[in-house]
Amino acid sequence: MNIVEQKTHESGIMRMMGLSKKGYVASVLLQAVSFVIPSIIIGYIVSIPLLHLAYSWLMKGKAEEYNIELLPSKGATL
pLDDT in tens, 13-40: 877 788 788 888 888 888 889 989 999 9
Please tell me the distance from the alpha carbon of residue 43 to that of residue 5, in angstroms, as a whole number: 31
What percent of the chain stands above pLDDT 70?
86
Report whether pLDDT(63) > 60: no
Please tell me the distance from the alpha carbon of residue 58 to that of residue 68, in angstroms, as a whole number: 12
Please tell me the distance from the alpha carbon of residue 47 to that of residue 41, in angstroms, as a whole number: 10
Element housing 17 (H / E): none
pLDDT given at position 9: 80
Please tell me the distance from the alpha carbon of residue 21 to that of residue 8, in angstroms, as a whole number: 14
* HSE toward the beta carbon, residue 45, CA cutoff 13 A: 6
